[in-house]
Structure 1
Amino acid sequence: MDLDLKVVSKEVNEILWRNHQTLSVAESCTAGRIASVITAVPGSSQYFKGGVVAYANEVKINLLGVDAQVIEEKTPVCEEVAVQMAQGARKTFDTDYAVSVTGFAGPGGHDSGKNSVLVGTIWIAVASSTNVKTVMLEEDNGRDKNLASATSTAMHLLLDLLKEELGGSEEA
């Protein structure tokens, strides 16, 4: 894990721990990388309840409550699916906050005719009970860099939401 992710993870840890808030994740293309970054910080067991790697659409639908019609109409890689995954993780794990990621990291993409999704398209969502923030990444730098970028972006988006709702860490 690079230094930036360590710093962000530590700050997320401090904010959640200090405010007695909980966190969960729902990851598709990142396959547990975000959970790994979160749990690399000592003390994460105080606020991190768990996560789900939802590669298959049926897992997104059945476990996280993603609307099958949205997947059918817009593909699994869209803002709505990312938002529903985050909200579903909050509900499934009964947490205050959740992070979700869905995308095509490469090298192959999704082609369903009119709803083609390019490699490197990744949607990230973070959610609380009152707020949802999303970001779309659209650059293909190869699978490893795409996944690293998604993980970093997700952690920064989470930190931004936590600072907005709970304030920064005491050291900041």
Structure 2
Amino acid sequence: MDFESKIISREVSQLLWEKEKTVGTAESCTGGRIAEAIISVPGASKYFKGGIISYTNEVKEHLLAVSHELIEEKTAVCEEVAVAMVKGACATLATDYAIAATGIAGPTGGSKDVPVGTIWIACGTPQIVKTFKVEEDHGRDINLAIATSKAMSMFWEFLKEEGEDIEAEETK
């Protein structure tokens, strides 16, 4: 893990500690790398409940309650599936937040519509989910590193924004 990722992991850790909230992961193409980034900080057991590596559609459907029809209609690599994975992880793992990733890391498996390097990242709560699409292919290892780093930084931003929204409500 690079230096920037370690700093972001520490920032996420601090915010989750302060909020006394929990997080889990639902990972397809990243295969546990996001969970690894979260637990790299000592004390993560206070806020990290676990992760589901949903490498197959069957696991997405059965453990994360992603609709079979959605996957059939849009494929597993789409924004809607990433959102459903966040909501499913929150429900299955009984967490306040979840981070999800679904995509094609490569070097094979892509198509004209969904090329290698396409990875949807999502994070949030069962009510509010933010998404981001990674679209460039830099080779499998770099694709996975980019997705993991982006997922962690996106979640950190989500937590900060949520804190700012709460503070703004309290001052009204």
Counterpart residue number, 1:56: 56
SS at match of 1:99: strand
Number of residue pairs aligned between Structure 1 and Structure 2: 164
Equivalents in 2 of 1:34, 1:136: separation in Å?
Answer: 16
Is residue 140 from structure 1 mapped to residue 137 from structure 2 by the alignment? yes
Structure 2 counterpart of 1:88: 88
Partner of 1:166: 163
Corresponding letter in the other structure for 2:31: A
Which residue is equivalent to 1:154?
151
Find the aligned partners of 2:60 and 2:127 in 1 and give their Cα distance: 22
Amino acid at match of 1:124: I
Deviation (angstroms), 1:19: 0.9
Give the Cα–Cα distance (whole angstroms) in 1 for the partners of residues 32 and 40 of structure 2.
Answer: 12
Matched letter for residue 103 of structure 1:
G
Unaligned stretches of 5+ residues in structure 1:
168-172
Percent of pairs with identical residues: 55
- SS of the residue corresponding to residue 6 of structure 2 reads helix
Alpha-carbon distance between aligned partners in 1 of 2:110 and 2:139, rounded to the nearest angstrom: 16
Query: Matches of residues 34-53 of structure 1 in structure 2 within 5 Å?
Result: 34-53=34-53
Q: Aligned pair in 2 of structure 1 residues 161, 44: CA closer, same or farther (>3 Å)?
A: same
User: What corresponds to 1:98 in structure 2?
Assistant: 98
Per the alignment, residue 27 of structure 1 pairs with: 27
Alignment partner of 1:122 is 2:119: yes
Q: CA deviation at 1:166?
A: 2.3
Q: What is the alpha-carbon distance in structure 2 between the residues aligned to residue 129 and residue 154 of structure 1?
A: 17
Distance 2:96 2:149 in 1: 21
1:160 Cα deviation after fit: 0.6
Give per-residue Cα distances to partners, 1:43-86, cap 9 Å, x unaligned: 10000000000001000000000011111111100000000001
Give the Å deviation of 1:127: 1.5
Residues in 1 aligned to 2:4 and 2:140: alpha-carbon distance in whole angstroms: 20
Q: Deviations over 1:124-157 (max 9, x none)?
A: 0001143110000000000000000000000011
Name the CA distance, whole Å, in 2 between partners of 1:166 and 1:6: 21
TM-score with structure 1 length normalisation? 0.93
Q: Which runs of 4+ in 1 moved over 3 A?
A: none
